[in-house]
Structure 1
């Protein structure tokens, strides 16, 4: 990567940003009529960290002249509210209809003065160094903190000649273009890995990943315990060992009409037949003694890591855990509400969950927890979750519906082979994913290094 350097003869000045740009200038409303069509740019139309802006939404001036921020082609939009500012929602406005735009009131508008290039300003204020400094000067309540105009006015920007600014911008964007190509390639690899993982899980729970126990038994001239026999044995044992309150309630068998045919020796069961299905709880937050212990308290955001989830963002004391139920290690955790419904994890340690998570604690003599997790995370398992969630604005899969979902159960020895082969293949996927993620972080660090070098204001 070539360095972005100032030309030796260039004189750099460090000036207040307010000398380089006009901050939130007033609109020239004399040139606009109520029927003038202008671009409308909400916060969602500006990309995070990439300078992209969508100006395709068009509205008449009459609809936007009150309650929105005005800008024009060449202005720099700077998101002032958290977390948009920290995420780098900034862009140079361009391609505006009639050269005019209106948008979110959460934008500061920076209009370059004569002799100042808008792309140069954008690259400076969008850099991590400037955003970090801006974050430290935010004011307001938590969740509604904003960068004040006073910070922008007092902050400083290194300012060479216009010619040098444009040379620097050209070099930055050349380097960024190369990095963007590399990032796009890495993202394609991630997408391919995701598809491969899904295909492995699909093959595993359809009996196509390893030799079936039925085929093994025929080849070796022996008999075997089928999935149906295994399930019945476990159900009989659970019934005979029942020590709960009241009469034992037999878990319902699955409704198999419409389900695909299973391999020889497999059987359809329900989550309820395989173990205990529970929903989490919310400890009273007014009592801080409920928190700060050693028991992970899982929420949907903690399931990002997928299998073998151990860490959480919150931990309960034993007093807090007593408000609900402690799940044993190897419980399958499934988000049961909202846009992230179906997000799945396998707990590697005892834990508790909030009420947005359904959990299955399996009778391990029936199915391996890892196998039950792989089914739940597979395309077929995910489709069952989505298809059976309530059809509302906020999809919900309550405990009873989750408990009744079907699970294909292979013979016990076949489960072991399936889990071992899935683990082998996915361990390779995880290694590649880790390398890809490391390279993506490296690319982001290189972007910031390019900007730091560009605005160093030195020829050395």
Structure 2
């Protein structure tokens, strides 16, 4: 709601206003690593599981039922609304879809909303929380220095626009109809983008089989005049400079290219560091346009050996020891070699060289020197690079169009929610009972339930789970 004006029959309400007597609004539980058990029968739902309107179902942590009881955990129920109190994005909400009695708990940075049996439409509230207008309110109430989060007490202060119950149901039905269509479109676009990755690799495969420039090449054979060579045969391969505290006292400071600056076929020079360097080190590690750079090591096998070409974006720059530099001779075109080593065939060769008996994947100077690639004459390398780039440029443009369409899809999703909570998505029915009467009925039902409990003699809660379910209080 972009203004304080509401459609007729609507009202502003907070989360606690709409909880029935059997409702629940609390944080998840503080469950440490020592409390967890991979063989436990109670699954621990984590922040990674909470998507923006969808349950992601990504985690695999658990604990025993006995430990959950010992910690007085709040067990989740199917249909609970889970709200992520930490990024990204902060405040994202989804309905919990999994079923099972006392089978699921969640972490402390997830808020649990259980509306109860005589309340508003749960899906309506979940969509409302994911609306950009409410999300902005959540972001404005977040606190913390290094780790931003919104407290449950702050979340409880946020008011959301509430229509009559029948209109809530019509809004939810329309949102889900439109989101279903949108999701199908996004699914098709995502599949098309994945297909472009396959097409990109197909272009590289044909290039290094020699088929981009010679369609008569037989499968499994190199074209006539081609041969496999090792990198050391056509390049001077060298390491870089090791960073240490002593270098702070060196007078000669130079820009210093790090592993973080090197991606697959691109350099990110936005966050550059400088380093004290001795004259003889600078001569060895200074970068030159056309130098091929390989990442020596990375925790992920899919990232080890990623490569890029130095294009001279920063003057007089050196590189760190975890980047290995290959300075190619005049018979080899840097882009030709780079395209090979980012192709599937080249990546497989890098993985083979990087493997070890210990199961770890590492690269070093000698391993990089032994990397092999299909060598042909320089003029044919240039032709192949030209053919590759001609085809990849078309793929790049298609990919840009798809990415733009995906962004528009997300904007459309927010546009749908905006209209929904302005009362403009579905027709209003003047015969619908107003939201104010609905809230009054929910409040009266809570008071009646509390009165009955008081008359029967309130017994002390036998644990946090009972206390949470029988009241509407929880940790802030």
Q: If the length of structure 2 is used for normalisation, what is the TM-score?
A: 0.71
Q: Give 1:310 shift.
A: 4.6
- How far, CA to CA, are the matches of 2:388 and 2:128 in structure 1? 47
Which of these residues, 376, 380, 390, is aligned with residue 424 of structure 1?
Answer: 390
- How far, CA to CA, are the matches of 1:272 and 1:443 in structure 2? 49
Which residue of structure 2 aligns with residue 176 of structure 1? 179
- How far, CA to CA, are the matches of 2:104 and 2:170 in structure 1? 28
Q: Sort the Cα spacing of 1:200 and 1:131 in 2 relative to 1 into closer, same or farther, 3 A.
A: same
Deviations 1:273-305 (A, max 9, x none): 332334555756999999xx99584544752xx
Bigger Cα displacement from structure 2, 311-320 vs 380-389: 311-320
Q: Does 1:271 align with 2:274?
A: no
Which residue of structure 2 aligns with residue 255 of structure 1? none
- How far, CA to CA, are the matches of 1:64 and 1:81 in structure 2? 23
- Give yes or no for contact 2:255–2:318 (8 Å, CA) kept in 1: yes
- How far, CA to CA, are the matches of 1:378 and 1:184 in structure 2? 26
Q: Give 1:56 shift.
A: 10
Which residue of structure 2 aligns with residue 23 of structure 1? 25
Q: Give 1:428 shift.
A: 0.5
Q: Give 1:443 shift.
A: 0.6
Q: Give 1:372 shift.
A: 0.6
Q: Give 1:49 shift.
A: 2.7
Deviations 1:125-151 (A, max 9, x none): 233443344334333341x33221122
Q: Give 1:65 shift.
A: 3.4
* SS of the residue 2:87 aligns to: coil
Q: Sort the Cα spacing of 1:418 and 1:151 in 2 relative to 1 into closer, same or farther, 3 A.
A: same
Q: Sort the Cα spacing of 1:280 and 1:118 in 2 relative to 1 into closer, same or farther, 3 A.
A: farther
Which of these residues, 340, 346, 353, is aligned with residue 309 of structure 2?
Answer: 346
Bigger Cα displacement from structure 2, 144-153 vs 375-384: 144-153
Which residue of structure 1 aligns with residue 339 of structure 2? 374
Q: Sort the Cα spacing of 1:55 and 1:82 in 2 relative to 1 into closer, same or farther, 3 A.
A: closer
Unaligned runs of 5+ in 2: 1-5, 30-39, 428-476
- How far, CA to CA, are the matches of 1:417 and 1:195 in structure 2? 22
Q: Give 1:383 shift.
A: 0.1
Q: Sort the Cα spacing of 1:286 and 1:321 in 2 relative to 1 into closer, same or farther, 3 A.
A: closer
Q: Sort the Cα spacing of 1:44 and 1:9 in 2 relative to 1 into closer, same or farther, 3 A.
A: closer
Q: Does 1:187 align with 2:190?
A: yes
Q: Which has the higher contact order (CA 8 A, sep 6+)?
A: 2
- How far, CA to CA, are the matches of 2:76 and 2:115 in structure 1? 12
Which residue of structure 1 aligns with residue 293 of structure 2? 333
- How far, CA to CA, are the matches of 1:451 and 1:285 in structure 2? 54
- How far, CA to CA, are the matches of 2:254 and 2:399 in structure 1? 30
- How far, CA to CA, are the matches of 2:237 and 2:135 in structure 1? 46
Which residue of structure 2 aligns with residue 314 of structure 1? 271
Which of these residues, 80, 84, 94, is aligned with residue 79 of structure 1?
Answer: 84
- How far, CA to CA, are the matches of 1:279 and 1:133 in structure 2? 51
Unaligned runs of 5+ in 1: 1-7, 28-36, 216-259
Q: Sort the Cα spacing of 1:362 and 1:124 in 2 relative to 1 into closer, same or farther, 3 A.
A: farther
Q: Does 1:135 align with 2:139?
A: yes
